[in-house]
Amino acid sequence: MLGRGMVPFRMSAGQRPNNRFRDVNLASEIRTEALSLGERLVAKLPGGQLYQHHLLDSGAEALEMAIGHAYQVHLEGLRSIHEKIRATVSDLWLQASTTDLRWLPEGGCLADFLDDLEQRNLGALESFMRHPVMLAFHPEKPVVGSGALGPRLRNACRNACEGVLEPRVVGLERRGGDGIDCALRVHRCQFRIPCVVEGRIEVVTRSESLVFACVVGPSESGDGICQIAPETASSLVFRPGTLPLVIEESRMGCPSADGYYAFGRSALSQARPEYVVLSKVMGGWGSKIGAAMVRSDVLRSEFALDPDEGCSDAFSLGVALSVLEAIEST
């Protein structure tokens, strides 16, 4: 019912709002803000390394993206090794079919020998696909609501890596650097490579790591990330082999002369982490936003991140940008 003096309002066809253009403008604004936020976060990372950023709707999604990328890169490396060995086996079979090469390490049929070799090498590859290994440091005081370390990381790995049956999380102590080297020695797979030596076939073993990442998780103590003993930090900073480091920041900001990120004010200040993950700390506990940053020199083109897609929450983006500006102005 209309009140006194009120007339019904009728909108002509030309006056109707165009939702399509409104949605396009909103999407463009979100994209612009996401790119701005991501670029500013990357610029503040210590070490002067180049990173590619990707914003998502939660810290859990950001952690899964980092873990999934590290897993896929390691898997592709092992697949490449396996394919090269298969090519070697094929060449050996052709060579044996045109020569008198029949001397096997344990005697028997050459075809059976090469088939058994292929099955063993395939098993080595599948051992990683089924049970990849992550290293992670026990937190001295876990962040409230972060969940138990092992189950949380195993769940993130299952969500990020298709086909993984049971990822293994090996806990490390923050005091002492022996655990990393021990874990890298224990968790390995063995590829068997045939070669011809003086007319006979011999087999050499190539050992490869099943460990695809080392995660330094959040903590409420210290500068937002648990302090790691100097010898342990040295094992991470000056890693002799390829052990991708995933740093999950629990406290961004609180800027000081020592740097903007918490890990930059810890014993890991000299580390060049392959992955840095940010979660609730960007916008408070009420907003939905997370960020995964991947070092550019380890970023594979086939697993490239798209910075234009991910976080779709305009409110959370606005909060994160406001928090960043407030910190910078302090």
Pair 288, 58: CB distance under 8 Å: yes
pLDDT tens digit string along 232-246? 777 787 775 678 999
pLDDT tens digit string along 27-64? 666 677 778 888 888 888 887 788 988 888 888 888 88
Please state whether beta strands 133-137 and 211-216 pair in parallel, antiparallel, or not at all (unpaired): parallel
Pair 153, 133: CB distance under 8 Å: no
Q: Which amino acid is at 30?
A: I
Opening angle at CA 301, ends 299 and 302, nearest 5: 115
Could you give the 3-state DSSP secondary structure of residue 256? strand
Task: Report residue 201's pLDDT band, with 50, 70 and 90 as the boundaries.
Answer: confident
Q: What is the strand order of the sheet 133-137 is part of? A: 51-56, 290-295, 275-278, 245-249, 211-216, 133-137, 168-172
C-alpha span between 256 and 325 (Å, rounded): 15
Q: What is the pTM of this model?
A: 0.82
Pair 252, 321: CB distance under 8 Å: no
